[in-house]
Structure 1
Amino acid sequence: MKIIAMIPARYAATRFPAKLMQPLGDKTVIRHTYDNTVATGLFDEVMVVTDSDVIYKEITGHGGKAKMSIRSHESGSDRIAEAVADMDVDIVVNVQGDEPFVRKEPLEKLLSVFRGGEGRQVQVGSLVQVLKEQRFIDDPNYVKVALDKNNNALFFSRSVIPYRRDAAAGVTYYEHIGVYAFRKQALLQFTAWPMSPLEAVEKIECLRYLENGIPMRMVVTTYMGVEIDTPEDLERAAKLLS
């Protein structure tokens, strides 16, 4: 089974423009993400896919692999699908460019759901972690996900889900971590569908799978670090790095 990691990297992020090129310690955010993904040793190939000459040169200038997108894309999955369309590959892992603290153990756990008899039925998987601080639970920049008893995603939202109507009831809040794994055909199928209504409202691309009836197997993992969405996140990441 050939497994590759693709890192979609858009320069003009809406909330924090040029965030992937921000310095974090002795490297840029995107180089931390790339180098740490390579360092896991889990992949036959790791590549950044970008619309930016600046990001392309940042990766290739330091000995990494990168590819320029041919077309403009609404989502990272669309960007990756274009890049892998003609590649001989079984599983594609999408590591978001703003995840500089990538570690081996969560990715290894994610890939394991595709193996074995039951794993042959899994088309798409992703990672979640438990959210405990109320400020993060309330923050729309943190995408929440509700799970069924088999750890399949029921719904993703920037709102607080589930809503705690009964104050005495126990509840676990899960944050969706922007790391996906797809069978190649599932990824190509994703790009053939138009943007779905809930995806358009929430601006959460994986809702397109749920709205088209494709289950997403979620893997609960421990803390992966800080996803860089805002300047405040970058400050938190710098403290974590030090």
Structure 2
Amino acid sequence: MSTLILIPARMASTRLPGKPLADIAGTPMIVHVARRAAEAGLGRVVVATDTQGVAEAVRAHDFEAVMTRSDHETGSDRIFEALTILDPGKTVETIVNVQGDLPTIDPRVIGAALKPFDNAAVDIATLCVEIVRDEEKTNPNVVKLVGSPLSATRLRALYFTRATAPWGAGPLYHHIGLYAYRRAALERFVALKPSPLERRERLEQLRALEAGMRIDAEIVQSVPLGVDTPDDLERARALLSN
């Protein structure tokens, strides 16, 4: 499949303003993410941004950037605009959305997101990891994927929630917000209006499930560090400086 990796990057983070350009070991964070994405070896890598400074920083390190509108409500809307700019001839079949705040992500984890597409019925693929820390099971900031097991390494997503679910004995899974879309699925998804459960849980992926789209998740072994706060940034600096 022809694959395009898109990395949405916006400067207007409420908890860590300007984080795409935050310095980590002498390099902007967004460039670290682009390097990890390129190391995955899946295909073309492009940063989608609404800020000229981000585009310039990315290009200065020999990566591609595309300018998008500043009024997008979600990263999915931003990557769809980028896709239409970069591939008007519709040759790209698969789009991988890698969040721009994952500077330490393992390239193999990015590659794992494509594995569910070995089933032609899957519209959207994503990742999850089994929760091992008890405090994460009740933390509403840790999104849980409720799924039906398909194999030892894969779930079919039935629901996503900030609550502790499912009830009873058995594993709980932390959803990792990295997505791969078939092109037709992304086109359909961004045309949908926000759904009731999406608004209630504040989880965009529920829009797809409520519309009857199929999401499968590959189970991986670690959660990539997402940089959302100054403390997260210091952790990323410590990791990448070593």
TM-score for the superposition, normalised by structure 2: 0.89
Q: Is the 8 A contact 2:9 2:49 kept in 1?
A: yes
Aligned with 2:110 (options 107, 110, 113): 107
Aligned counterpart, 1:138: 138
Q: Tell me how far apart the structure 1 counterparts of residues 143 and 233 of structure 2 sit (CA, whole Å).
A: 18
Matched, 1:162 2:166: yes
Q: Aligned with 1:14: secondary structure?
A: coil
Residue 116 of structure 2 contacts residue 217 of structure 2 at CA under 8 Å; is this kept in 1? no
Alpha-carbon offset, residue 49 of structure 1:
0.5
Deviates more, 1:146-155 or 1:88-97: 146-155
Cα–Cα, structure 1 residues 7 and 124, in superposed 2: closer, same or farther, change >3 Å? same
Identity %: 36
Q: Within the alignment, does 1:14 sit opposite 2:22 as a pair?
A: no
Number of residue pairs aligned between Structure 1 and Structure 2: 233
Contact 1:225 1:237 in 2 (8 A): no
User: Could you tell me which amino acid in structure 2 is paired with residue 123 of structure 1?
Assistant: D
Q: Which moved more, 1:129-138 or 1:96-105?
A: 129-138
Counterpart residue number, 2:219: 220
Alpha-carbon distance change, 19 to 201 in structure 1, aligned in 2, over 3 angstroms: farther
SS at match of 2:113: helix
C-alpha contact (below 8 Å) 1:7/1:95 kept by paired residues: yes
Match of 1:152, SS state, is strand
Distance 1:179 1:64, change over 3 A: same
Q: What is the SS of the residue equivalent to 1:172?
A: coil
Return 5+ residue gaps in structure 2 as ranges. none
Shift in alpha-carbon separation, 1:19–1:138, aligned structure 2, 3 A: farther
Distance 2:48 2:21 in 1: 14
Give structure 1 regions of 4+ aligned residues with deviation exceeding 4 angstroms: none
Contact map agreement 1:103 1:224 (CA 8 A) in 2? no
The aligned residue for residue 26 of structure 1 is 26
C-alpha distance in 2 between matches for 1:142 and 1:23: 26
